[in-house]
Amino acid sequence: MSAVKTIRRLGFRKWYERELLRSHANTVLLLLACLGLLGAAEVYTSRAPFLDQLETVAAAVASGLIGLLALRRYLYLLNHAEFVANRADCGACGTYARFELIGEPPLGAERVQVRCRHCGHAWHIDL
């Protein structure tokens, strides 16, 4: 579901909270991938049969790739949520995250127009 639909349905604060939770879930995945990598390093031995060594190396590579993807996703979601949250202040009255979406943005648009519920000031937020 797009950010515009979610913000319209739940409100900005709930959307922001969910983005942060999704981001931190990737941190947990990164931690688990690191544990898998350390476990593979602990199990590996050169005295084991070749197929067992290959299995251990494959598990280590898979854990490393999963960890890199989880780190990348974590940083993207966290930075995106913070980027949008920094623009959620009304420029006129300073009210934070109390706005309504104006109209329906074009399909795939990254910019949405919002209006403050407190003073009526309108501005754009880049999603």
In degrees, to the nearest 5, what angle opens at C-alpha 28 toward C-alphas 97 and 10?
A: 25
Handedness of CA 3, 103, 107, 89 (dihedral sign): negative
Same domain for 32 and 56, yes or no, is yes
Same domain for 31 and 76, yes or no, is yes
Quote the CA–CA distance of 126 and 85 in Å, as a whole number.
10
Same domain for 56 and 109, yes or no, is no
Same domain for 12 and 67, yes or no, is yes
- Judge whether residue 30 has pLDDT over 90: yes
User: Which of the two residues, 2 and 8, has the higher pLDDT score?
Assistant: 8
The predicted-structure confidence for 61-104, as pLDDT tens digits, reads as follows 999 999 999 999 999 999 999 999 999 999 999 999 999 999 88
DSSP string, 56-110: HHHHHHHHHHHHHHHHHHHHHHHHHHHHHHTT-B-TTT--BS-EEE-S-PPTT-S
Same domain for 35 and 70, yes or no, is yes
The pTM of the full predicted model, rounded to 2 decimals, is 0.84
Same domain for 18 and 46, yes or no, is yes
Domain count of the chain? 2
Q: State which residues form the domain around 114.
A: 90-127
pLDDT at 99: 94
